Amino acid sequence: MELPPRLRYKFEKLKSIFRSALISKEATFDNAYRMCPACRALIARNAASCTLCGTSLKAPRTRESSAPGRVLGGLIPVPSTATSALVAANIALFSISWYLTQAAASALKPAPSLGGIDGEVLLRLGSTHQIHPGEWWRLVTAIFLHAGLLHIGMNLWCLIDLGPAVESLFSTPKFICLYLVTGVAGFIVSGMLNPGGNSVGASGAILGLIGVLIGASFHHGQTGKAYRGELWKWVMYIAIIGLMGLGVDNAAHAGGLLSGLLLGYLVPEGEPDTRSSENLWNVLAVASVVIIAGSFALMALQLNSPLQ
């Protein structure tokens, strides 16, 4: 069915806004340039040597994720490899938590409406409420849990848009490590500022991705400055939502953002330029995956244990 002219005009205008804010600047920032590993100068992506310090550079590897496809007329990006895996993991955990919520529902305690998840189910699956000695894994499992359909919907929308940008700019192994570290850092800060808080969600890691891009943008002159301005708008919008009293864990957001800023500034961009650094990042990425899998294994072992 064809949309009425007025509604079609509004849809096209919205699509144009999303494209200009979330697509064009990402493409310019990600694909046209790379950073010299010696002096961190911004150089052409295909340059054979640094124009500033003269360091000889090997040709950049071809990465399928450097120009992710998009659907719905450009509104939604197709996630790159690691981003797709993270999205799938979040959806799988939400499906499990929703099923357990429905199974635990009764006439005296009906299931939350609108796809809400029962708090006790979240606690058993790994929320951060009162992390006891030996339950460090809750800092990891909580990243993949969500309290409702709106919660996971907003987080996955942001992850699908930001994930490919970070993965393209830093490489897949670095992206995996950055996502895990910033997500854990967010819940550590949350636990310090709000002890006993029952917190879940990927938003700390998502703020971490925004922080990573902001930190990296400081090495890219005027191009980075323009891109940084768009990213700060994301931070501002999320901060406004956090101040509306909707149960948002602002401490986790702050922890993820600050850790991402630091890592984005310090971690070299692009594929590793030496075999040793490539091996190091591959090992760190594998370790991150093992930590995530191990955390859920530990959660499964205590799933039916009495809550402390």
pTM above 0.95, yes or no: no
- Regions of the chain where pLDDT drops below 70: 1-43, 45-46, 57-80, 107-108, 130-133, 306-308
Per DSSP, the chain holds a count of helices (H) and strands (E) of: 11, 4
51 Cβ contact list (under 8 Å, min separation 6)? 41, 43
* The pLDDT of residue 18: 45
Which CATH code for domain 84-301?
Answer: 1.20.1540.10
Give domain limits for the chain: 84-301
Contact between 149 and 112 (Cβ < 8 Å): no
- Cα angle, residue 296 at apex, residues 294 and 299 outer, rounded to 5°: 110
In the prediction, which pLDDT does 29 show? 45
Each residue's pLDDT tens digit, 214-232: 999 998 888 888 888 888 9
pLDDT at site 60: 52
Per-residue exposure over 137-157, b if at least 16 CB sit within 10 Å of its own CB, e if not: bbbbbbbbbbbbeebbebbbe
